[in-house]
Structure 1
Amino acid sequence: MASRLGLKDLVPAYLGTDLTDDDLLTGVSFASAGTGYDPLTSTLVEELNMFAEYKEKLAGIVGDEAAAGIVAESLFLVCAGTDDIANNYYLAPVRPLQYDISAYVDFLVQQACDFMKQLYQQGARRIAILGLPPIGCVPSQRTLAGGLARDCDPARNRAARMFNSRLQAAVARLQRDLRCQRIGYVDIYDVLHDMIADPCKYGFDVSTRGCCGTGDLEVSLLCNQLTAATCPDDRKYVFWDSFHPTERAYDIIVDYLFPRYVEKLL
């Protein structure tokens, strides 16, 4: 997305990198792997704390007034929730004892709205909150819940669609309550589902496995030279590992999202 906006090709992580003043002025990522809206998944409080610290550093570079202007004009991308449903609900034993899936989705949507309100209180005015992908068609979920044929799991996909529908309605209410039309819902379900269902349409060969290792379960750090081989050409794969799309798949997703959703928030 940053590349599409002409800012830079890579948004650096706020933690663990040597950031320059220009990095801070043009955008950083506060994202943390595995974070979700559910506090049992991983709290978003740290991201908010880092954002507050970032604003102080920004003010130290350009002054308080200019820093507030940069924050107000910046685009905030919020992407969470997949780990909540895939891991914290369907794999962990606690939440299913407390909620049925409909009630759990309501809980997640409320948590997402609370997070957006906190971002707004900290000065954010352009917020794009992404819906969930077709979780049941992600390679790892096929392996865990798709049977011997590794089919898409309909229960996880229904949960994702339910979350997306309720989140979209909640965002519309937030727009009215905060009087801010530049808080918007962004749907990623349909485009990714189409890429998975008809990979040849997009120039892919494989959509049911990741490029890394077996492609069935390896994720993140498990994809490395010591533990897993990789496919010869990741541009032929929709997924890099068993959970995350490849760079080329993300390029296609951004090209799809930009005119439909993002331009309206700028």
Structure 2
Amino acid sequence: MTSFNWVFVLVVMLVMWAPVSRGDGEALGASFIFGDSLVDAGNNNYLSTLSKANIPPNGIDFKASGGNPTGRYTNGRTIGDIVGEELGQPNYAPPFLSPNATGSAILNGVNYGSGGGGIMNQTGRIFVNRIGMDIQIDYFNITRKQLDRLLGPSKAIEYLRKKSIFSVTIGANDFLNNYLLPLLSVGERISESPDAFIDHLITNLRAQLTRLYNLDARKFVIGNVGPIGCIPYQRTINRVNQDECVKLPNQLAVQYNGRLRDLLTELNENLPGATFALANVFDLVMELITNYAKYGFRSSSSACCGNGGQFAGVIPCGPTSSMCDDRSKYVFWDPYHPSEAANLIIAKQLIDGDSKYISPVNLRQLRDL
């Protein structure tokens, strides 16, 4: 072996095993992130799609880019970014489609999230291109083989099973941009009841999570669907009052969330060695919306950045959008997505909170299993 190769192997091993001191013991090795625009860190930048966030003022508070847009659908960090930081990850997981998601960089994990993506392959078709959950797992399979080459098969298995967390934040688009999509999905709602549609979601998600398990994922955190009837977009197009949410989307989310809880209980019982933690995003976000003043927010109904209607909820955030004067005072950054200030509160509860918001373990406990 040449001296160059020896140096490369040494660097890889140091990156893999060197602890990152965060004052609380062990550090997270890798964060593999799957989901939709709530966690997309720039994958959609590399797609010909109508769903993009790589335009200002998105990212205006993202320090790592100097306030330039990265493709994150918020003003700063996503929940996935914050969780990685707090659990001791030295670098953000790079987007799978970015040129730098290669070599030793993947030891920090990889982000497969895609704005518009869903559990069902047809979800988000209105955006033309997006990466659904099935394709995201196909992409992870590519990463999985790269890890074998980088670390050797046995070390790769150990790294994935012991040092990695797999987070899945998906499902909202299956309602917002599929089952509830105005005009385009009317036929689907007539032919398929909510129960039948949610059955399909759960069946697909069960297969997807089992597939990740078969690729050596063991530590999972799965987010449920938030109160999608309360986002500025839904409030605006349905013309509700400031203290009202739209009932049907929230009812569907609650129904799906109950089935998701049952699914994760089933998987915890039937997949040996796996831990599936349920992140109760619905109740977390609803707490912020209902008691926003208690958390220092000025508004939980309007978008900080957007245009159109009472809650600035029709047109996504872009260079011509109006923007609030203090971004830290709004629960919602744009018509769909939380602000970094809201993400910080949500992430803290998922990392160190109790079973009201994450169970059977929180993320710090999941990391240390």
What TM-score, normalized by structure 1, do the two folds share?
Answer: 0.91
Give the CA deviation at 1:149. Answer: 5.7
Contact 2:327/2:333 (8 A) holds in 1: yes
Counterpart position of 1:76: 166
Structure 1 pair 8/231, CA: closer, same or farther in 2 (3 Å)?
farther
CA distance in 1, matches of 2:341, 2:247: 26
Contact 1:14/1:30 (8 A) holds in 2: yes
Q: Choose between structure 1 and 2: higher helix proportion.
A: 1
Contact 1:183/1:265 (8 A) holds in 2: no
Contact 1:146/1:152 (8 A) holds in 2: no
Query: Structure 1 residue 206 and structure 2 residue 292: aligned?
Result: no
**2:101 aligned to 19, 22, 35, which one?**
19
The DSSP-based 3-state class of the residue aligned with 1:2 is helix
Query: Structure 1 residue 265 and structure 2 residue 355: aligned?
Result: no
The alignment-based identity, stated in percent, is 29
Query: Structure 1 residue 106 and structure 2 residue 195: aligned?
Result: no
How do 1:108-257 residues align onto structure 2 when only pairs under 5 Å count? 108-147=201-240, 151-214=244-307, 215-219=312-316, 223-225=317-319, 227-257=320-350
Contact 1:36/1:80 (8 A) holds in 2: yes
C-alpha offsets along residues 23-78 of structure 1, whole Å, 9 cap, x if unaligned?
21011101111111122105322111110111222223222222222221210000
Runs of 4+ in 1 over 6 A off after TM superposition: none
CA distance in 2, matches of 1:15, 1:122: 20
CA distance in 1, matches of 2:175, 2:288: 21
The DSSP-based 3-state class of the residue aligned with 1:238 is strand
Counterpart position of 2:112: 30
Structure 1 pair 224/12, CA: closer, same or farther in 2 (3 Å)?
same
CA distance in 1, matches of 2:251, 2:318: 33
**Higher-Rg member (1/2):** 2
CA distance in 1, matches of 2:139, 2:243: 40
Give the CA deviation at 1:251. Answer: 0.8
Structure 1 pair 69/162, CA: closer, same or farther in 2 (3 Å)?
same
2:287 is matched by which residue type in structure 1?
A: D
- Matched positions, count: 262
Gaps of 5+ in 2: 1-82, 125-131, 355-361
Counterpart position of 1:50: 139
Give the CA deviation at 1:177. Answer: 1.5
Gaps of 5+ in 1: none
Counterpart position of 1:86: 176
CA distance in 1, matches of 2:229, 2:101: 37
What TM-score, normalized by structure 2, do the two folds share?
Answer: 0.67
